[in-house]
Structure 1
Amino acid sequence: MSDIQERIAAGLEQAFARHGFAEPSVDTLRDAAGVSLRTLYKYMPSRSDMMLAALEHRHRRYLNRVLDDLPVDQQAAREALMDRVADWMRTEASHGCLFHAAVASEPGSTALRDLLERHKQEVASRAALATGLAGQEIALLLILEGLTQSWPLHGKNAVAAAKGLATSLA
């Protein structure tokens, strides 16, 4: 992805995270991307392309922030993983998972469903590998998804519960 495409995708990600997928007008998306309408459509000719680019950008940022450079000690990695998901929720996703929101906005989109599945699969496999829970990817993903959904209501208590559940998988 070129620098301009990356910059556009970053702006679109922020616009969709702030306004949802149905609300932002093309003008809002253009302004968020920081380019002319012509440039926006040159790189992303449809709203679907804009959504996919924004989510691909989000996917890379999430993996980098939540899963890169976890502690080598597996128990410490489990705790750090839950803390990082909570930090992500606090700073980036207070309304829940942007990937699920995208699929909900266009339930018939195979491309969005495929991206959601790829994102969740990669999160689960990388998290399981880092935490010593290989073979328990679905259980670990269930804990992470539960934390993502319960964090807005329960905050630190949700993190503590997720840590306890992850420890019980060992």
Structure 2
Amino acid sequence: MTDTATKIAAGLEQAFVEYGFAEPAVEALREAAGVSMRTLYKYVPSRGEMVLSALEHRHRRYLAHVFDGLPEGGPDALDAILSRIAQWMAQEAPRGCLFHAAVAAAPQDGRLRELLKRHKGEIASRAARAAGLEAREMDLSLIFEGLTQSWPLHGEEAVRSARRLADGLTPA
């Protein structure tokens, strides 16, 4: 991504986090991106492309936040992943998963559904490899989804519950 494309994607991501997907007009999105209308449309030629660009940017940021510099393998890696997901939810997504919100706002958009599937799948597969739980990828996916979906209602209690469930995956 070029610096301009990254700047646009970051601004769009923050606009969608703050206002959701239905509310912001293109002018508000342009303002959030900090570029002219011409530049915005050069890089993201439609509102749908704006959403995808913002979510791709968020996907990369999330993966870096959760997986960069993890402890080596096993329970320590899994505990760090859960802590980092909780930190992300507290700081970046207190109202819930932006990917799910995007699909809820445009349920017929196949590209959004595919992006959601890829995002969640990559998280689960990377976590399974990091924790040495390759055979438990679906279990990890369900724990992470439970955590991110219940965070807005239960906060830290959701993290404690996710940890209890994750403890059941690791050999004693």
State the AA in 2 paired with 1:111: R
Deviation readout 1:69-125 (Å, 9 max, x if unpaired): 211141111111111111000000011110011111111111111111110110010
1:13 maps to a residue whose letter is: E
Which runs of structure 2 are paired with 1:5-154 in the superposition (5 Å)? 5-154=5-154
- Residues in 2 aligned to 1:13 and 1:31: alpha-carbon distance in whole angstroms: 12
Amino acid aligned to 1:10: A
The runs of at least 4 consecutive aligned structure 1 residues that moved more than 3 Å come to none
Shift of 1:133: 1.0
CA positional deviation for 1:167? 1.2
For 1:154 and 1:12, locate their aligned partners in 2 and report how far apart those are by CA, in whole Å.
28
d(CA) in 2 for partners of 1:155 and 1:48?
Answer: 31
Q: Do 1:30 and 1:40's aligned partners in 2 also have CA atoms closer than 8 Å?
A: yes
For each residue in 1:27-50, what CA deviation from the matched residue of structure 2 results, as whole angstroms up to 9, or x when unmatched? Answer: 110010000011101111100000
Q: In 2, are the aligned partners of 1:78 and 1:167 still within 8 Å (CA)? A: no
Matches of 1:40 and 1:119, distance apart in 2: 25
The amino acid that maps onto 1:51 is V
TM-score (norm 2): 0.96
CA distance in 1: counterparts of 2:157 and 2:105, whole angstroms: 30
Structure 2 portions without partners, runs of 5+: none
Identity over aligned pairs, percent: 61
Shift of 1:152: 2.0
The amino acid across from 1:22 in the alignment is: A
Separation in 2, partners of 1:28, 1:135: 45
Number of residue pairs matched by the alignment: 170
Report how far residue 147 of structure 1 moved: 0.6
Structure 1 counterpart SS, 2:35: coil
How does the TM-score come out when normalised to structure 1? Answer: 0.97
Report if aligned partners of 1:44, 1:50 keep a CA contact under 8 Å in 2: yes
| CA–CA distance in structure 1, aligned partners of residues 147 and 28 of structure 2 | 31
Where do 5+ consecutive residues of structure 1 fail to align? Answer: none
Give SS of 2:134's match. Answer: coil
CA-atom RMSD in angstroms = 0.9
